[in-house]
Amino acid sequence: MSSPRILPAIRGPQDLRALTTEQLNLLAGEIREFLIEKVSKSGGHLGPNLGVVELTIAMHRVFDSPKDVILFDTGHQTYVHKILTGRQEGFDSLRQRGGLAGYPSRAESEHDVIENSHASGALSWADGVARGFKVQGVKNRTVVCVVGDGALTGGMAWEALNNIAANPELPLVIIVNDNERSYSPTIGGVATYLSTLRTTSGYEKFLDWGKTVLERTPVVGQPIYETLHGVKKGIKDIVAPQGMFEDLGLKYFGPVEGHNIEALESAFSQAKNFQGPILVHVITEKGRGHAPAINDQAEKFHAVGVVNPQTGQPLKKFGPSWTSVFARELVDIGRERPDVVAITAAMLGPTGLDQFQSAFPDRTFDVGIAEQHAATSAAGMAFAGLHPVVAIYSTFLNRAFDQLLMDVALHHAGVTFVLDRAGITGDDGPSHNGIWDLALSGIVPTLHVAAPRDGARLREVLREAVDISDAPTLIRYPKGTLCEDIPAFERRDGIDVLYRGESADILLVSVGAMATMAVEAAAQAYREGVGVTVIDPRWVKPLPRSLVTMARRYKSIVIIEDGIKHGGIASTVSELFREEGLSIPIHSIGVPLEFLEHSKRDEILNDLGITVQTITRSLVSWSLTLKELHLSQEQESSIHQESN
């Protein structure tokens, strides 16, 4: 007869404390089974969470959450934390509308604090929370910050460490989850440093041995040991150079085996009792316990869609993606242009640059989770005669805005930024939607911005972008599968005409991947007697001046974009028309200025009224309103003439 399962009885961290070591190890196995079953159905960050099962169990046994504040950098490694804090029943709805978020959420639990889930920021949060407690005289509350090793490649993490170390009284425990990977294998000097610590952890055993032997030696033994202990710092620098952390003023503890709950509890207990800033270095294996994840050497199943839980293979087949088209075209360009190089921030695979790396390893640079450095380094490469292509997700451009503005654009650097996952992405929640790039890039002088509508235009604008050497360029495209190519009837001064209405009622300006929806809505509006012409500028910054000439023929203008309306392309068109003295009604279809909760992309678009049916109704309504207004004005004019 098998013993009852342990996991169903865990309703909160307090339920962990009565379990034996054997039960805790059984619980770890049950959690892995649970994660594989649930995440295979919903999609999500499977690999990172399989790697932190024991770490999270031990942490919740030693620290008293939410009294002790537990912070995660990044939030995609919090599934086990959610399971242990009373949310296992919600995992069937993970990343779905109304269900559990894929990242920490304050609305879900008092155990969650940081929601933004961008790497390298949690240490600054930890510093702020700990200082807040200190200023207010709060006692007996420890701040715990779980940091993935990849996050230590970000400069903000080191700014925080520098400040944390300056205050030795902060009760702050930093747990470095060292799995050698972020999205891809972690890159840079810090990664090399941690690798050294992993492989040379014997110096403490050496000192313990020395103490035992020498203390048995009469007269000279103790003085020799004290001398040896006095040069311990020097031995660390030679044998295991964690002196870098201690030089900052941080106590270092580790490395600790990250899948041994007893060892983890011992380390965490000592760290909690230290009552000052201390760094605990934990070695874990990303994807642990799941053969498909372990065998996935590229990403360790960092994030998966809906997959077979046994094989890890996707259950749905998809056509070519935007990412794959970009990846292939950049390789072709690389063969023709030896000056073209590629830069990414720890995301070679997700951005498609792994293909460029395979073809041109000496011209591919992964800078780690350091978007700011990527942008400024690219400016330097441009000055040296190269044309860098920086490929990141749209949401991560936010982090490098100052560098884009002051290092790249101010210096007219020939750098091309390629933003994957632009627009509404959906499942990963408010911090991962790429809805700000059009508004942000719109205020950057010298920057050219393209929004291709399909794969053919992506290839086209990419080649146009790398041909510009005296100004930066930016190309944005959405997540997922490509739509079919949409040919243009004609191209007028760089503007593609996609659909031509018989009457000049509405000029519909379609931005990027919204073209399919725009053309379908125009066709439906035509059947209701409204003439709509659909155009695609391709390059939305600067907007072609010919747009003004074209717009003069129409009664109203509609702009549809998958970014925030405030400061987006509609705002730019409005400003352009005002400068030209053109008074035509402008309607904007886009994303409101708010954070969007996690849902499927189609659900969010439906909520916002960005669907073919809703757009069609709006086009017809706006056209009828204009006609009624025009008829009313004609009647008033006629009455005025008769009265005269």
Active site members: 286, 371, 399
Element (H, E) at 47: helix 46-50
- Chain-centroid distance of CA 333 in Å reads 27
Residue written as token pair 């009624």: 628
322: Cα within 13 Å, side-chain hemisphere: 24
Element (H, E) at 387: strand 387-393
Nearest alpha carbon to residue 383 among 431, 427, 415 = 415
Nearest alpha carbon to residue 421 among 361, 370, 479, 353 = 479
Residue written as token pair 């008293």: 64
Rounded to whole angstroms, the Cα distance separating 222 from 225 reads: 5
Nearest alpha carbon to residue 323 among 288, 282, 362, 355 = 355
Phi first, then psi: give them for residue 252, nearest 5 degrees.
Answer: -110, 135
Cβ neighbors of 594 (< 8 A, separation 6 or more) are: none
CA separation, residue 231 to residues 209, 237, 250 (Å): 16, 10, 18
Strand 69-73's sheet: what is its strand order? 69-73, 143-148, 172-178, 278-283, 251-257
Rounded to whole angstroms, the Cα distance separating 170 from 142 reads: 9
Helix then strand count (H, E) for the chain reads 26, 18
Q: Are 566 and 437 in contact (CB under 8 A)?
A: no
Rounded to whole angstroms, the Cα distance separating 481 from 316 reads: 12
Alpha helices in 166-314 (DSSP H): 189-199, 203-215, 221-230, 232-239, 243-248, 261-274, 291-295
What per-residue string of b and e applies to 470-490 under the rule 16 or more CB within 10 Å gives b?
ebbbbbbbbbbebbeebebee
